[in-house]
């Protein structure tokens, strides 16, 4: 058995069942090994940014790593933006980056580059394999590294001669370390803080935003009268009717500061306080009120759920009921097209169990507001801030959860970064419905130009902020990649077409033109 | 004057007149400065891989650096593949990578990453600016670094607070080092080799493939009866009727070895011997015949043209005439569509002075063969091997040379990597005619699977090599980005549509379906 096959079999034994790939010549033995290792499903993407984002979406929904196959340094380079997002989202992922053979590399062939240097900024674990005999073990180590709490990006560099060389066969999965438990004294100390009755918020991180973690956090908040918060762009948030009510920290730092003002304590349950995206010349980026104390109940690598439940017990709050989001289906409305109107239509139709991949940028807030009381659903955010995530993450989430509908809420500017994801959706016949908010500009930059530089777009600088002239035709772009698509002219039209799309087989795209 | 304006003015003084940009919040002061620094033309691309490739194409045609504006680590990440190509093409380029403020960065905001680690593999010069006061000087140093022979990628990291902080104004351009001259004894030693009459080839690098360098190399070759060669993927090759005949080293190593067999000496005139792209398990990557000696007349950083001319003088060959390519316009033909047939149509219509951006992959060889005797033109190759170069380089070349026609010969698989380039072509109304060779597969990988792994695509692995199912509709994709496009059904049809496209204003795309 060659190294490639031993590696794939080892990944499969470690629970990897999907591999997003865009291979090149140096990865041909990995490709060939798929013929025999049928436990791993290969999925082609036409650009590597799609596959790193898809692996991220897959991991956000399953908690398990997908693998990727990337072609040397440039292939890894193309994947970096969405690997950055995956790193920030704390998801497990195993990247296999092809490399030249040991004999060939020293000659500095055209595609040679410093792969480690490219990999390290986006990977918690990087290893260069040294031989066919050790490739399977490296694969097992990569899976274990990826599954090390809270979830990590692991990158294994695979020389072509290791892939084709004779191996000793697959190796058994390595146990990943489990989450460290939180010492009881920390729980007691935080219980003491919560008992003071001072204005307090519980800020939940990844694990505290779903399932038992979210229930415990909600119970705790209601028992002690604390606010329950999440960061601005959590990796995955369970929300909707019947789920614990949660407040989201606003994006702009001055709004975030206002939002947090009056708090005396913030208890971090598996997260960190969100750091505003940018520093400004005249706007403070300090969002925590003066005198407010931060208390870490658990880091993301620790046993967050157990710590929250211990805290509930310590406070005798196990019978307390979280404040739940009431079921509210807004009326779809029928006026002219605005982000708020579109959000109402989405909220009126969002199916139970939907997964929303949100890269709506300036439309995110209205989308979230309108859907707060929609049937329970998951919301995936742009955690790392590198645009071009929405369509790929939707693709990976749909592969992970074939029995759930995926709705991608996509700004046009960021959608153009990785539009190739639509093709993979078409090929894999994924049930993804994409709504493109076509305002034909980087609307956020129009605001930030003023906030940062105190300027309004001039004729000259508007060209760097507007993406009109020519206008993108998303219907044509989607059809060009085999995805059925339509443009809507009114909210009524949107309601009708979205309704049909949500029942269709395979992907659909709806372009919603917004006033610029 | 703030740092951003001082920086842009300094770049302008250093000869930078185009800036390919995709800015974000941290680059807003650079955007704003364009209002006052009108000597630099800002050009928006909808994805960073387009702008790094466009800057490469611009530099290949002008010898001058374009600037880019990239948004933090992820923006740089998206640019990496084409920066890799630019590094291999030895072109000058100045990247401005926005960064968080000094106060904000230590908080590890979502978009923070190790920019240096990402930049180094693709940059010969990387600097992190330390203050607004030193930003202009850093810019001058970056331009000088970019212009250091033979041409380098320089990356300057620009913190937002340096861009907005008060500067001391622009600084004067710094003189870049000139090319080192080649010592006369080296010229004499190589003259001695050439006089032996043993089978010899002169291998010309970048500078030896155009203008006076090419003429001197051609004269030399004909005087001593040597073969005149170029590498497999030179950055830019002047060719066509009336230009010195030059043979190109084949791509596959076994073909290259055959091609070079019998040679006793290879004289390197500004280049290095091409290293084959990949090592194989059963095919040797050694292409130089045993016993063949390599002699470096000049490295790419040295005075290649002067050295070639000195050698011509030393050999008393100044009256010798190079062997020139005869003018041969093939008959366009009218049969069914094959890569050879398409190449003949292109050759029958290629305008004088055309710039061909070639990322035709498996169609490159037939395109080159057919156009050998077409009117003089430039050919730009995929020097670094990172696919997704063709459309961006065509874009930059068209901006650099508005009075010349650009023809992009584009394989469909690699075209999908950076298809967003079409939008910039439409916005800037560039005279680029793109021909998409739509064979609906990564055809080279079909060959390489067999060459590397001895396997033919199975039903399962074919999915990683074919890009059909669904077929891409390039006409729709192009129109979706504002580029007029058509599909052709026959060679006659192609002739008619290409003929019209080559006279049209603005970009056009023609999809040529090939039998899979």
- Helical residues (DSSP H) of A196-303, grouped into ranges: 211-224, 253-260
Chain A residue numbers with beta carbons less than 8 Å from the beta carbon of B275 are 104, 107-110
% chain B with pLDDT above 70: 100
Instruction: Compute the C-alpha angle A143/A146/A150, nearest 5°.
Output: 140
Question: Looking at the complex, does the CB of residue B108 fall below 8 Å from at least one CB of chain A?
Answer: yes
Cα B373 to Cα A421, B240, B349, B381: the distances in Å are 42, 5, 12, 18
**Distance to chain B for A338, nearest Cα, Å:** 23
* Sheet strand arrangement including A41-44: A41-44, A18-21, A66-70, A93-99, A153-159, A125-128
Q: Where residue B271 falls among pLDDT bands split at 50, 70, 90?
A: confident
Q: Which of A45, A46, A101 is nearest to A72 (CA)?
A: A101
Out of A34, A164, A480, the one facing B461 most closely (by C-beta) is: A34
Q: Choose, out of A476, A484, A486, A508, the residue to mutate when testing the contact with B (most B CBs < 10 Å).
A: A476
Chain B residue numbers with beta carbons less than 8 Å from the beta carbon of A77 are 77, 80-81, 83-84, 122, 386
Q: Is A55 exposed, middle or buried (0-12, 13-18, 19+ CB in 10 A)?
A: buried
| Cα distance between residue B33 and residue B48, in whole Å | 20
- Tell me if B184-314 shares its fold with B339-513: yes
* CA terminus-to-terminus distance, chain B: 59
Does residue B335 surpass a pLDDT of 90?
no
B220 DSSP assignment = H
Do the Cβ atoms of B276 and A109 come within 8 Å? yes
Right CATH for B184-314 from 3.40.50.720, 3.30.70.80, 3.75.10.10, 3.40.50.1220: 3.40.50.1220
Contact criterion met (CB below 8 Å) for B265 and B293: yes
pLDDT in tens, A191-235: 999 999 999 999 999 889 999 999 999 999 999 999 999 999 999
Token pair 């939907």: residue: A354
Question: Looking at the complex, does the CB of residue B505 fall below 8 Å from at least one CB of chain A?
Answer: no
A321 DSSP assignment = -
Cα-based torsion angle of the residue sequence B234, B236, B242, B247 in order, rounded to the nearest 10 degrees:
0
Question: Looking at the complex, does the CB of residue B392 fall below 8 Å from at least one CB of chain A?
Answer: no
pLDDT in tens, A473-487: 999 999 999 999 999
Q: What pLDDT does residue A272 have? A: 87
Residue ranges per structural domain of chain B? 3-164, 184-314, 339-513
Beta-strand pair B237-239/B377-380: antiparallel
Does the N-terminal peptide bond of residue A470 adopt cis geometry, omega within 30 degrees of 0?
yes
Do the Cβ atoms of B386 and A80 come within 8 Å? no
Question: Looking at the complex, does the CB of residue B460 fall below 8 Å from at least one CB of chain A?
Answer: yes
Do the Cβ atoms of B84 and A74 come within 8 Å? yes
- Residues with Cβ within 8 Å of A124's Cβ and at least 6 positions away in sequence, in order, are A87, A145, A148, A152, A153, A154
Q: How many CB atoms lie within 10 A of CB B333?
A: 18
pLDDT in tens, A263-276: 999 999 998 888 99
Out of A80, A117, A453, the one facing B77 most closely (by C-beta) is: A80
Q: What is the ipTM of this complex?
A: 0.97
Do the Cβ atoms of B78 and A120 come within 8 Å? no
* Sheet strand arrangement including A265-269: A247-248, A227-230, A200-204, A265-269, A293-298
Instruction: Compute the C-alpha angle B95/B101/B103, nearest 5°.
Output: 155
Q: Where residue A333 falls among pLDDT bands split at 50, 70, 90?
A: confident
Q: Choose, out of A21, A69, A70, A77, the residue to mutate when testing the contact with B (most B CBs < 10 Å).
A: A77
Q: Which of B390, B449, B442 is nearest to B420 (CA)?
A: B390
Helix (H) or strand (E) holding B346: helix B339-349
Contact criterion met (CB below 8 Å) for B44 and B73: no
Mean pLDDT across the stretch A457-485?
96
Residue with more model confidence, B177 or A271: B177
Which residue of B lies nearest to A34 if distances are taken between CA atoms? B461
Do the Cβ atoms of A386 and B77 come within 8 Å? yes
Chain A residue numbers with beta carbons less than 8 Å from the beta carbon of B52 are none
Do the Cβ atoms of B472 and A480 come within 8 Å? yes
Out of A108, A113, A481, the one facing B275 most closely (by C-beta) is: A108
Contact criterion met (CB below 8 Å) for A420 and A46: yes
Cα A253 to Cα A256, A257, A259, A283, A383: the distances in Å are 5, 6, 9, 8, 16
Comparing A170-184, A256-270, A327-341, A347-361, the range with the smallest average pLDDT is A327-341
pLDDT in tens, A106-125: 999 999 999 999 999 999 99
Do the Cβ atoms of B78 and A78 come within 8 Å? yes
Do the Cβ atoms of A28 and B476 come within 8 Å? no
Out of B42, B111, B277, the one facing A385 most closely (by C-beta) is: B111
B264 DSSP assignment = S
Q: How many helices (H) and strands (E) does chain A have?
A: 20, 18
What CATH code would you report for A339-513?
3.40.50.970
Model's pTM, two decimal places?
0.98
Phi, psi of A229 (to 5 degrees): -120, 155
How large is the C-alpha radius of gyration of chain B?
24
CATH superfamily, domain B3-164, is Thiamin diphosphate (ThDP)-binding fold, Pyr/PP domains (3.40.50.970)
pLDDT in tens, A155-184: 999 999 999 999 999 999 999 999 999 999
How large is the C-alpha radius of gyration of chain A?
24
Contact criterion met (CB below 8 Å) for A380 and A404: no
Phi, psi of A143 (to 5 degrees): -65, -45
Contact criterion met (CB below 8 Å) for B66 and B19: yes
Q: Choose, out of B8, B32, B99, the residue to mutate when testing the contact with A (most A CBs < 10 Å).
A: B32
Q: Which of B38, B178, B26, B189 is nearest to B104 (CA)?
A: B26
Contact criterion met (CB below 8 Å) for B280 and B451: yes
Q: Where residue A302 falls among pLDDT bands split at 50, 70, 90?
A: very high
CB within 8 Å of chain A, chain B residues 119-148: 120-122
Mean pLDDT of chain B: 96
Q: Which of B107, B129, B29, B26 is nearest to A285 (CA)?
A: B107
Tell me the two tokens of residue B67. 């600037």
């Amino acid at each position: 058995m060659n190294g490639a096959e031993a590696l794939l079999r080892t990944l499969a034994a470690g629970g990897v069942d999907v591999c997003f790939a865009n291979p090149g010549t140096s990865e041909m033995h990995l490709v060939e090994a798929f013929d025999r290792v049928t436990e791993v499903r290969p999925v082609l993407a036409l650009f590597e940014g799609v596959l790193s984002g898809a692996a991220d979406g897959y991991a956000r929904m399953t908690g398990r790593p997908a693998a990727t196959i990337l072609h040397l340094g440039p292939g890894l380079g193309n994947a970096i933006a969405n690997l950055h997002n995956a790193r920030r989202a704390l998801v497990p992922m195993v990247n296999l980056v092809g490399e030249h053979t040991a004999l060939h590399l020293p000659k500095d062939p055209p595609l040679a580059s410093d792969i480690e240097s490219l990999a390290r900024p986006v990977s918690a674990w990087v290893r260069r394999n040294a031989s066919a005999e050790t490739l399977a073990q490296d694969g097992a180590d990569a899976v274990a590294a990826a599954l090390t709490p809270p979830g990590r990006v692991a990158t294994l560099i695979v020389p072509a001669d290791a892939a084709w060389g004779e191996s000793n066969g697959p190796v058994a999965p390595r146990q990943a370390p489990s989450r460290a438990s939180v010492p009881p004294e920390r729980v007691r100390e935080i219980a003491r803080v919560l008992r003071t009755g001072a204005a307090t918020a519980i800020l939940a991180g990844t694990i505290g935003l779903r399932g038992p973690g979210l229930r415990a956090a909600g119970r705790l908040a209601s028992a002690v009268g604390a606010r329950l918060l999440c960061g601005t762009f959590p990796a995955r948030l369970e929300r909707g009717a019947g789920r614990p009510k949660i407040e989201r920290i606003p994006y702009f730092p001055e709004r975030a500061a206002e939002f947090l003002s009056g708090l005396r304590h913030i208890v971090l349950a598996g997260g960190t306080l969100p750091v505003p995206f940018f520093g400004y010349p005249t706007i403070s980026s300090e969002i925590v009120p003066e005198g407010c104390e931060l208390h870490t109940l658990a880091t993301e690598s620790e046993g967050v759920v157990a710590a929250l439940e211990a805290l509930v017990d310590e406070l005798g709050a196990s019978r307390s009921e979280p404040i739940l989001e009431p079921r509210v289906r807004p009326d779809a409305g029928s006026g002219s097209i605005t982000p708020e109107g579109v959000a109402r239509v989405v909220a009126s139709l969002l199916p139970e169990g939907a997964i929303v991949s949100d890269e709506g940028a300036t439309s995110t807030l209205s989308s979230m507001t309108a859907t707060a009381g929609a049937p329970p659903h998951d919301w995936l955010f742009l955690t790392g801030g590198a645009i071009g995530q929405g369509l790929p993450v939707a693709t990976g989430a749909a592969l992970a959860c074939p029995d759930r509908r995926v709705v991608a809420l996509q700004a046009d500017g960021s959608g153009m970064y990785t539009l190739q994801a639509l093709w993979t959706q078409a090929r894999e016949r994924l049930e993804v419905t994409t709504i493109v908010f076509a305002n034909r500009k980087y609307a956020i930059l129009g605001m930030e130009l003023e906030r940062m530089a105190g300027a309004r777009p001039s004729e000259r600088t508007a060209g760097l902020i507007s993406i009109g002239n020519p206008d993108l035709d998303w219907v044509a772009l989607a059809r060009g990649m085999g995805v059925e698509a339509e443009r809507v002219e009114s909210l009524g039209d949107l309601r009708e077409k979205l309704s049909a799309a949500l029942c269709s087989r395979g992907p659909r795209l709806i372009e919603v033109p917004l006033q610029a």
